Amino acid sequence: MTTVTPPRIRPIPVSLRRGWSWSNIITAAILGALIAADLSIQPALGNLVQIGLLIETALPLVLLAVAQTFVVLVGGIDLSVGGVYVVTNAITVTWVGLHGGAHQWLLVVALGFGVAMGALNGLLVVRLGFQPFIATLGTWTIFNGIALTILPTDGGSPPPLLSNLLLDQVAGIPSSIVILAGIVVAWRLLRASRFGMRMYAVGADEERARLNGTPVRTVKLCVYVIAGLCAALAGIYAAGANASGTPTGGDAYILTSVAAVVIGGTSLRGGEGGVGMTVMGAMSLTLINDIVGAENLNTWVSVAAASALLLAMVIARTLIGAALARRRT
């Protein structure tokens, strides 16, 4: 009797089946409204230099939110991004900074620490079967302890060349704008690659992706490694931009990075969303802080506004999803 092998069905990620979703449009509209509001309060922000300074403030959050996006796209979460951030931040302003300008290559070692920490998270989740929340909660605590051992209090000094490069201009354009553009371009290239397709497939339906021949474990492990690398870049960038380090500064970014992902429209169930919209979400949160600071309002106003925006996006996604489901039926 001849066995007929059924044809393999390739899962098509939601994010690649269509253009912008309604939630993406809402995110873009919110960002546009916040830009208009900030410009009305501070007209000088229209200057290219001022835009660069604003993006410079946002970049650590952007990079950490990018790290979070990769993990969320495969149905996970990474609470340790703040821990990776402070470890590499502390290394940059102590060990790397102490060696002076002739040893800039030591920054590669700091990035290596980020990759190793991301790989540890991946091994705990993929190989040992820990829940992502539990695994990364544990490593977050460990990484924070390592950062405090390296740099007990705020201080230190990054390599001068690093600060000069990050705060300089490229062809008259602030480096922060160039870096942000580079992040978006790199994402577009990765998303269109085979790995990008596999990442979306795993997030959309892990079992179906496995039956389709996708190496699910390898993809998820690579995603955690990429997240560690992005978080390490955030720590190094913050060290160079602020000319100082902090062993506790990553804690505030953990939930904020998740908020930026959700506001950007990436589904916490995985398989839908992307870095481009996460960047918009992170910039929206940064603009809220900037507006609150410009108006000399209390800090709680910024927290309340960010929380309200997050809640509004969750409600909007839920209502839109229900409406689309009714239309399909």
Q: Give residue-wise pLDDT tens across range 224-240.
A: 999 999 999 999 999 99
Number of domains in the chain: 1
d(C-alpha 267, C-alpha 163), whole Å = 36
Band the pLDDT of 165: cuts 50, 70, 90: confident
Q: What are the distances in angstroms from CA 50 to CA 38, 46, 89, 270?
A: 12, 7, 25, 36
Query: Minimal CA–CA distance to 250: which of 85, 103, 130, 134?
Result: 85
Q: Does residue 211 or residue 5 have the better pLDDT?
A: 211
Q: What are the distances in angstroms from CA 44 to CA 54, 125, 175, 197?
A: 12, 47, 19, 42
On the question of pLDDT at 272 being above 90, the answer is no
At 139 the pLDDT is: 96
Query: Minimal CA–CA distance to 116: which of 235, 228, 237, 254?
Result: 228
Domain span holding position 199 = 52-275
d(C-alpha 151, C-alpha 90), whole Å = 6
Spatial contact of 89 and 236, defined as CB atoms under 8 Å apart: yes
On the question of pLDDT at 278 being above 60, the answer is yes
At 8 the pLDDT is: 46
Instruction: Tell me whether residue 1 is in a domain.
Output: no
Q: Give residue-wise pLDDT tens across range 251-265.
A: 989 999 999 999 888
On the question of pLDDT at 109 being above 50, the answer is yes
On the question of pLDDT at 311 being above 60, the answer is yes
At 103 the pLDDT is: 67
At 238 the pLDDT is: 94
d(C-alpha 274, C-alpha 88), whole Å = 25
* pTM (global) more than 0.85: yes
On the question of pLDDT at 26 being above 70, the answer is yes
Query: Minimal CA–CA distance to 125: which of 218, 258, 257?
Result: 218
Instruction: Tell me whether residue 264 is in a domain.
Output: yes
For residue 301, how many C-alpha atoms fall within 13 Å in the half-sphere facing its CB? 12
d(C-alpha 303, C-alpha 313), whole Å = 15
Instruction: Tell me whether residue 313 is in a domain.
Output: no
Per mean pLDDT, which range of 18-22, 48-52, 127-131, 135-139 is the poorest? 18-22
Instruction: Tell me whether residue 184 is in a domain.
Output: yes
